[in-house]
Amino acid sequence: MIYTVTFNPCLDYIVQVDGLELGLVNRTAREEMLPGGKGVNVSIVLRNLGHENRALGFLAGFTGAEIARRLRETGVEADFIEVAQGMSRINVKVNSEGVETEINGMGPAIQPEDVEALYAKLDTLAAGDTLIISGSVPSVLPGDIYERIMARLEGRGVSIVVDATRDLLVNVLPYRPFLIKPNNHELGEIFDVELSRRADVVPYAQKLQERGARNVLVSMAGEGAVLVAEDGSVHESPAPRGHVVNSVGAGDSMVAGFVAGFQESDGDFETAFRMGVCTGSASAFSMQLATRPEVEALLATI
């Protein structure tokens, strides 16, 4: 079974506003409401690709109930901890003249007993399962919760995927995550360098392998992506051609595509990489997250 963890899920209210003017009344030209959060996005795309999975994390209030309802409508098994205080976030994503602006909410007041309830669910994972942990950690949670989860599952045969930034990512490397997915800017921040070309990314991805990561997948938006795999192979691809409509969830979709491709191909890195690249692009080329037909159409082009 594939599991995802989203510490702070949300409802993403995505709107198109033509000619946005601050301080004035603006009207939307297009709008969409979707369940969101990095792990939630991964779960939805996995299900779109035909892979059953279970979404874990924390929900609260009427917004939390709506997130769970919408997830179940997509076929994802929503198995969240219900938090008593506060409400799950509504995040507003405004696109105007090609510029994206985000206003993100705070989230519920997660208590220590809620965290213990999440740990209890994670304790049921067994050898052969895949766990995908992604996104930021709310201030109400321990800052080292990624490490705590990985230490708790160490030696259990669970493949753990981590999509996080800076210290959250670097600090889990000693636990040898199966896959990490920084983008080129996040990778550059770790080493205080600027990485704009695919060839530049490879040596720094290998440095993260030296620190413990088994596979390093680096997304680079329009430049494509790079995979440095644990078998020593390096895979590079430009981005498929297409018009970017909405970049929200594209990186999460790449993670979902890679995991799906890896499982479908019995562990072939090239197949997993191509699937990841095309799934990420398919989401970027649509107002909604990637579907299987959209991904397969792009796979035929690269």
Catalytically annotated residue among 192, 200, 252, 268: 252
Asked if 214 and 178 count as a contact pair (C-beta separation under 8 A), the reply is yes
Rounded CA separation 212/217 (Å): 14
200 catalytic per annotation = no
How far apart CA 199 and CA 180 sit, in angstroms, is 18
Give ∠ CA 132-135-136 in degrees, rounded to 5. Answer: 140
Task: Identify the CA nearest to 216 among candidates 247, 275, 257, 176.
Answer: 176
Q: Are 86 and 116 in contact (CB under 8 A)?
A: no
- The DSSP 8-state label assigned to residue 239 in this structure reads P
CA distance between the termini of the chain:
30
Cβ burial of 114 (10 Å; 0-12, 13-18, 19+) is buried
- Give yes or no for a contact between 7 and 40, defined as CB atoms under 8 angstroms apart: no
The closest of 32, 46, 37 to 74, measured between CA atoms, is 46
Annotated catalytic residues are 252
